[in-house]
Amino acid sequence: MAKELQAMRYSGILSGFLGNRWWRGALEDYVWELAGGGAGDAEILRNALQERTAGNLGSVEPNPPVVCLDGDFVPTRDFKSPANALRLRPDHWPAFADAAWMDIEMIRGNPVLQAMVDPLDQHRIGGEDED
């Protein structure tokens, strides 16, 4: 599987910028083929991936963790539950990009970050007793 993923890795002029990147379209096609068209079903996809790997992938979570950004809008190595993170709408964020997420605790008390919170998540900025 590593060789298959390597073929989808971006190797252009910005390949060293902020770590590895992959071609999204190639990954989506790969996942579609791997899951026999059932890529939208997390359990089917997990089972298809499990057949191709030696390790145990574990169970599928109903609310999978999200990659969060730090204060410099660089992805952190930590994954957060969507219950502990908020979606942001930073200026000039590409429309084609996935949503930007940030740890809710980083946003609380920071008016600049609070202004970027997705309108659908604004009600979650307050204290834990307001959730």
Could you read off the pLDDT of 77-107 as tens digits, one per residue?
888 888 899 999 998 888 888 889 999 999 9
**β partners of residue 88:** 100, 117
> At a CB cut-off of 8 Å and minimum separation 6, what does 27 contact?
8
What are 38-61's pLDDT values in tens digits?
Answer: 767 777 888 888 887 777 777 666
d(CA 79, CA 98): 15
Q: At what angle do helices 42-52 and 24-34 cross, to 10 degrees?
A: 90
The answer to whether the pTM exceeds 0.75 is: no
